[in-house]
Amino acid sequence: MTFFFQDMGGLLLGTLATPLLGVLPGFALLALLERFGGLRAGQGWERVGWALLLAFSVLPAIDALAIRFLDVPAAFAFRIALALVALRPLTGIVRRLDRIPRPMLLFAGLWWLVVAIAYVDVDWNGRLYQSLVVVDLVKHAAVVESIADYGLPLRDSFFARAQPAGYYYYFYCLPAEIRWVAGNLISARMAFASTLFWAGFALPAILWRVGAEAGLIGEGRERRFLLAAIFLCFIAGADLPFILIEHALNGYTLPQVELWSEEVRFALTSMLWVPHHMAALIACWTGAALLCRREPGWRRTDILPVVATGLCFGSAFGMSLWMALTAAPILAIWCLARLWRGDRATATALILAGVVAALVCLPQIIDILQGRSDQSFPIAPTVRSFAFWWLTPAHPDVTLALILLLLLPVGYAIQFGAFTIGSLLFLRAHPGETRQANAMRSLLLIAAIVSLIVASFFRSTIINNDLGWRSIWFAQFPAIVWTASLLHTLPGFFMRRGGFRILLLLGIAGNLWDMAGFRFIRPPHFRTHGPIPGTEPTTDFSEREAYEWAGRHLDGNLVIQHNAGLHPRVFNFGLYGRNRPGIADKDAILFGASRQQVADRLRALQPIFDIPMPLTDMQARARTQGVDFLLMADSDPSWKRQGTPPFLGNCVYRNAHACLLPTKAPTP
């Protein structure tokens, strides 16, 4: 089990190393804001929470600028300097901390185990077994590797070309620095996994701080509210019964409970699949919390918190364009609401923070404009689909659109599960939230309403509906805060209503189903659809060996091309090495290549893997597309048809199931 122990060791080492680079600098930022910005951060665990939030909300924007205009070592040195500054005051903070509650330790250990299950490869007897998360991990690892080796602007990891990638990459800067300093000890994949592990603690931290700023925490119940927030981060919606209905109707067993309808994915699996989007959400709310933390009026000391807020908003844009596009109208309406309430200071601070964010993000905005070749608008109007994927066509007619519109409340009620009841009970007990003077309470309600509108009637047009799937989190977040506010005042975390308890249990069961789906729900044992890894475990094992050999022996600028047409999203490109492919798959437009460019290159390269041809023809065809090496595998149709292909004698690396074939003939 060489690869298993290699990954597990990298994850353990990354888990220990990430706090030094990723969390400790937040304490230095906190001290700076307290001394020169008038921030009141409290004591004990409250200070730890603020430091964690600043580390994952302010520093990504600073990282991106440092790497772009200097380099990765300079960004690493800046983080180390902040960590050293934080060491002395940190000792005093630690002495004043209360004992860590046992439930918090239990949740932390459970969270690490969940990350390991999702991200560590398991190998046995020459067979490699990957998690379903590898579908997105191919992207995460490739971006981390690219930044670590080549800095910024970001290279296109899906389509080899000269233009910069038009993509949001700020979250990947920290794991890239970890990957750079650790070398081969921590792979890009495990650097990313250890970063998302620590970022996961920032979600209950911001839920806690927003609850406090909104005045929703009972006196003396701060720790209880935090525990309630942590508990709710392990709760999903009430989707599980509909997965069983899907199985009964057509025999499909879906590996993720959210796949029965348009995705509304809650905290646990959102952090595993899309931590960059979740970090952007956290950054938006951290910026809002910093504004609400100010004293009434305007002082010179407000300048630094406003700059920090702008960096939070800039980080949000750099970590998730879709989260930022949803946050923009929310913050604009909130600004108008504060002006209506006569709170000109907060409105002014919000506008100034927006200016700071725009300046910080200007280099990335230029990259997006230069790096995206398709001219189609990235957002389109829609009516959010509901129910099983095969019942809802991509372009519904007017009648179906009206039916979907009527079903929207039903769909959201099901997918929010226990949070539907928690939110309704809270809002019924606290009517007229928009009339409250409390700025954070009004922001929670504004965010929920705008989020539901955006997610219901707009979609993104680039591959998946990331706008609809991510924007809904601005409604999910208030729902969790409101539910935690309701639960933390009860004798136990379970109200007497039997329906609510059932929904909580369904939420726990849904997450357990998803964890099983990562590893076990796949053919031939289950009939399912969508991209599923592990269909060729012996070949996957050999391909990982080939990529790791290439990472040690080949220049990272060389292009290695796999069979890009074999799967909807292939599971090997760029995942275990430094070399990018000429084309990742048929949907390799994610980083900005045009659909025509992708189609042309796939049409040129695919015959190499499908049709037996002379070696010189294979090499010549690949060279015209800028490919330096071909990764040939026994799962390719051309290999299968020939049994023992004649090109095997020309491999620079070869094992039982894979071959790295140079596209240039050896020099005599």
Average of per-residue pLDDT across 67-89: 92
Report the share of the chain in percent with pLDDT over 90.
69
pLDDT higher than 80, residue 636: yes
In whole angstroms, what is the distance from residue 589 CA to residue 158 CA? 7
pLDDT band at 395 (very low <50, low <70, confident <90, very high): low
In whole angstroms, what is the distance from residue 367 CA to residue 166 CA? 5
- Cis amide linkage into residue 524, ω under 30° from 0: yes
* pLDDT of amino acid 476: 98
* pLDDT of amino acid 429: 82
In whole angstroms, what is the distance from residue 580 CA to residue 145 CA? 10
pLDDT higher than 70, residue 309: yes
* pLDDT of amino acid 668: 39
In whole angstroms, what is the distance from residue 366 CA to residue 369 CA? 5
In whole angstroms, what is the distance from residue 345 CA to residue 333 CA? 15
CB 547 within 8 A of CB 580: no
- Residue 214 bridge partners (DSSP): none
Count of positions (residues) in the chain: 668
* pLDDT of amino acid 378: 84
| DSSP string across 215-254 | T-S-TT-HHHHHHHHHHHTT---S-HHHHHHHHHHH----
Count Cβ atoms below 10 Å from residue 570 Cβ, excluding itself: 21
Q: What are the φ and ψ backbone dihedral angles of 533, each rounded to 5 degrees?
A: -80, 170
> What pLDDT, in 10s, does the model give residues 12-45?
999 999 999 999 999 999 999 988 887 887 777 7
Sign for the CA dihedral angle at 583, 585, 586, 587 comes to negative
* Structure token pair of residue 263: 């995705």
pLDDT higher than 60, residue 621: yes
CA distances from 412 to 144, 260, 332, 452 (A): 35, 13, 25, 9
> What pLDDT, in 10s, does the model give residues 66-76?
999 999 999 99
Range list of β-strands (E), 446-558: 458-460
Sign for the CA dihedral angle at 23, 24, 25, 29 comes to positive
Range list of β-strands (E), 488-616: 560-561
In whole angstroms, what is the distance from residue 517 CA to residue 133 CA? 10
* Kind and range of the H or E run holding 630: strand 629-633
* pLDDT of amino acid 496: 62
CB 640 within 8 A of CB 609: no
CB 147 within 8 A of CB 172: yes
* pLDDT of amino acid 202: 97
* Kind and range of the H or E run holding 658: strand 658-662
In whole angstroms, what is the distance from residue 249 CA to residue 366 CA? 49
Return the closest-CA partner of residue 424 out of 499, 371, 353, 491.
Answer: 499
Highest mean pLDDT among 97-106, 123-132, 270-279, 492-501: 270-279
* Structure token pair of residue 255: 């590996």
The structure tokens 């913050």 sit at 331
| Coil, helix or strand at residue 662 | strand
* pTM of the full structure: 0.94
Q: Is 279 exposed, middle or buried (0-12, 13-18, 19+ CB in 10 A)?
A: buried
Count Cβ atoms below 10 Å from residue 365 Cβ, excluding itself: 13
pLDDT band at 186 (very low <50, low <70, confident <90, very high): very high
Instruction: Determine which of 92-96, 212-216, 324-328, 507-511 has the lowest per-residue pLDDT on average.
Output: 92-96
In whole angstroms, what is the distance from residue 397 CA to residue 379 CA? 19
| Coil, helix or strand at residue 376 | coil
Highest mean pLDDT among 110-119, 563-572, 639-648: 110-119
In whole angstroms, what is the distance from residue 157 CA to residue 582 CA? 9
* Structure token pair of residue 264: 């509304």
Return the closest-CA partner of residue 535 out of 570, 565, 561.
Answer: 570
Report the share of the chain in percent with pLDDT over 70.
93
In whole angstroms, what is the distance from residue 327 CA to residue 313 CA? 9
Chain centroid to Cα 537, Å, comes to 26
* pLDDT of amino acid 571: 64
Average of per-residue pLDDT across 582-586: 92
CB 262 within 8 A of CB 469: yes
* pLDDT of amino acid 86: 87
pLDDT higher than 50, residue 305: yes
Highest mean pLDDT among 99-113, 420-434, 454-468, 480-494: 454-468
HEC letters along 536-562: CHHHHHHHHHHHHHHHHHCCCCCCEEC
Average of per-residue pLDDT across 367-381: 83
In whole angstroms, what is the distance from residue 305 CA to residue 254 CA? 46
| Coil, helix or strand at residue 38 | coil
Average of per-residue pLDDT across 369-379: 80
Q: Is 296 exposed, middle or buried (0-12, 13-18, 19+ CB in 10 A)?
A: exposed
Chain centroid to Cα 248, Å, comes to 32
HEC letters along 121-142: CEEECCEEECCCCHHHHHHHHH
* pLDDT of amino acid 45: 79
Please give the biggest Cα pair distance in the chain. Answer: 83
In whole angstroms, what is the distance from residue 312 CA to residue 352 CA? 13
Average of per-residue pLDDT across 233-250: 92
499-532: b (≥16 Cβ within 10 Å) or e: ebeebbebbbbbbebbbebbbebbeeebebeeeb
In whole angstroms, what is the distance from residue 2 CA to residue 6 CA? 6
Q: What is the DSSP letter of 523?
A: T
* pLDDT of amino acid 39: 81
Alpha helices in 488-497 (DSSP H): none
pLDDT higher than 50, residue 390: no
* pLDDT of amino acid 637: 95
* pLDDT of amino acid 434: 42
* pLDDT of amino acid 396: 58
Average of per-residue pLDDT across 292-303: 77
CA distances from 72 to 186, 206, 543, 660 (A): 16, 29, 29, 30
The whole-chain average pLDDT of the chain stands at 90
Q: What is the DSSP letter of 183?
A: G
CB 421 within 8 A of CB 432: no
